Amino acid sequence: MKRIPLLIAFVLALTLIGCNMPRATDNAPLPSDLSITHTYQTVEAEMTRLAPTATQNVLPPTSTPQPTLSIPTSTPLPPATATPLPCNLAAFEADVTVPDGTVMSPGQVFTKTWRLRNVGTCTWTSGYQLVFHQGDAMGVPAGYAQALTAGTVPPGGTVDVSVNLTAPMTPGTYRGYWRLREPGGQYFGLRNGGSFWVQIQVSTAAANTITLTAVAGESGTVRGDGGLTNTEIIVGDSSTNFGLQVFLSFNISAIPVTATITEVKIDFTNYTLFGNPFTGPGPTGGLGCLGVYQHDYGTLDAGDFFAGVPSGPNFEWCTAAALSEVATDNDFRVQLQAKLGVSNRLQARLQFPSVFTDNDGNADAVSLTNPRLIVSYTTP
């Protein structure tokens, strides 16, 4: 608003100056120090003089004050405190036998085995018990209890605990719950739940398992020189450098002729070694691998010794460690299925096929105790 008066005053000043200047009509010469350029310079100087005054009237912009941010301080969390382990606590490791849903026939007797780990701080002793808790008892009385272990299970150790049970007679699904009890009478169980269980499915078309043992008097050993014994089952070679072959006869009459054989396991794990029968083969290196062959020999006699070169064993073991494991053999399964309804015997021969003897004057042999077949089957 103050700029307009200043400009008016400036214009008036110029007017006065113009009035005092000689006019061209006076025919008077212009002063040498006055010119158009001088006039412009005068005007420019006056504008320069007035500029600071005008500038002083311009209000500087005001800044809006920024709010002060309040940064919260974090509260440190208290250190975590470890929860101490209890004295008695178990963890489930595995169903060693009878996994959940195993099909049983009515009244079938079976053994359930759990593997448990001691995850507490106290050692389990023979004073600890496995106790039936609730659900389907499967043949045990109410409150049934038995020792958890015959020895000790330290913290971190495992134990396989077994109980003998019987499947109910009525088809259906059954589950029985079990827990543990310490010597003072206090119950305890698993860290993720108090009880563990056994669960089965009872069916009239159930899977069955039967164990067949070699029939005494029908099984035995035949030596390469014609010697025969029914009291010892030993295969390899003798100290007199004669080959030894074993003949096994199994009674299969207890298996229904309508059965479907689902599995056959060979259990020769109860044995004694003489010398080094598995090392080799060769005259100084042992006898090679032990093979089992189907051989329908009927009544055992000295003439049953097989002197030829056998072909295709049903199964063979090349180390003692392999013989220490139960083996599953499909050839036996097929042969047993074919025998049902035709014969009540399944017979086989065991021998080291590579050589009959290593001629070292020492017995290199495997003596079997209670050789058996474990057969699983279903019925319509």
For residues 316 and 237, membership in a common domain is answered with yes
Question: pLDDT tens-digit profile of 32-70?
Answer: 443 434 444 544 444 445 444 444 444 444 445 555 545
Question: pLDDT tens-digit profile of 80-92?
Answer: 566 788 999 999 9
For residues 301 and 198, membership in a common domain is answered with no
Q: Which residues contact 65 (CB under 8 A, 6 or more apart)?
A: none
Question: pLDDT tens-digit profile of 198-247?
Answer: 999 988 776 788 999 999 999 999 999 999 999 999 999 999 999 999 99
Token reading at 344: 């009540």
Assign residue 132 the CATH number of its domain: 2.60.40.10
* pLDDT value at residue 78: 62
Beta bridge partners of 166: 109
The whole-angstrom separation of Cα 357 and Cα 305 is: 14
| Domain assignment present for 14 | no
The whole-angstrom separation of Cα 264 and Cα 267 is: 10
| Domain assignment present for 48 | no
For residues 191 and 278, membership in a common domain is answered with no
Q: Which residues contact 121 (CB under 8 A, 6 or more apart)?
A: 85, 86, 87, 155
Q: What is the mean pLDDT of the chain?
A: 81
The whole-angstrom separation of Cα 126 and Cα 41 is: 123
Question: pLDDT tens-digit profile of 316-331?
Answer: 999 999 999 999 888 8
Using the 3D structure, point to which of 175, 204, 233 is the last residue of a domain: 204
* pLDDT value at residue 151: 95
pLDDT at residue 252 is higher than 90: yes
277, amino acid identity: P
For residues 222 and 339, membership in a common domain is answered with yes
For the chain, what is the domain count?
A: 2
Which residue, among 307, 281, 311, has the nearest Cα to 294 in the 3D structure? 311
| Domain assignment present for 97 | yes
Residue 158 · residue 117 · CB < 8 Å? yes
Question: pLDDT tens-digit profile of 11-31?
Answer: 444 444 444 444 444 444 434
pLDDT at residue 4 is higher than 50: no
For residues 166 and 256, membership in a common domain is answered with no
Which residue, among 269, 292, 216, 252, has the nearest Cα to 375 in the 3D structure? 252
| Domain assignment present for 98 | yes
The whole-angstrom separation of Cα 213 and Cα 373 is: 6
Query: Quick one: residue 194, left, alpha or beta (phi over 0 = left, psi -120 to 50 = alpha)?
Result: alpha
Question: pLDDT tens-digit profile of 150-192?
Answer: 999 999 999 999 999 999 989 899 999 999 999 999 999 887 6
Residue 274 · residue 236 · CB < 8 Å? yes
Which residue, among 351, 356, 277, has the nearest Cα to 316 in the 3D structure? 351
Three-state DSSP state, 249: strand
For residues 245 and 329, membership in a common domain is answered with yes
| Domain assignment present for 244 | yes
For residues 299 and 348, membership in a common domain is answered with yes
Residue matched to tokens 């009959």: 356
Token reading at 294: 């189907």
Using the 3D structure, point to which of 188, 204, 220 is the last residue of a domain: 204
Token reading at 83: 């929860």
For residues 363 and 215, membership in a common domain is answered with yes
| Domain assignment present for 25 | no
Q: What is the mean pLDDT of residues 293-305?
A: 94
DSSP string, 54-87: HHHTSPPPPPPPPPPP--PPPPPPPPP-PPPPPS
For residues 232 and 292, membership in a common domain is answered with yes
For residues 264 and 220, membership in a common domain is answered with yes
Residue 190 carries which DSSP code? B
| Domain assignment present for 179 | yes
For residues 181 and 215, membership in a common domain is answered with no
- Assign 114 a pLDDT band (cuts: 50, 70, 90): very high
Using the 3D structure, point to which of 158, 189, 204 is the last residue of a domain: 204
| Domain assignment present for 250 | yes
Q: Residue 307: CA atoms inside 13 Å, Cβ hemisphere, count?
A: 7
For residues 196 and 216, membership in a common domain is answered with no
Question: pLDDT tens-digit profile of 261-288?
Answer: 888 999 999 999 999 898 765 444 678 8
> Beta strand pairing status for 129-135 and 228-229?
unpaired
Range of the domain at 152: 90-204
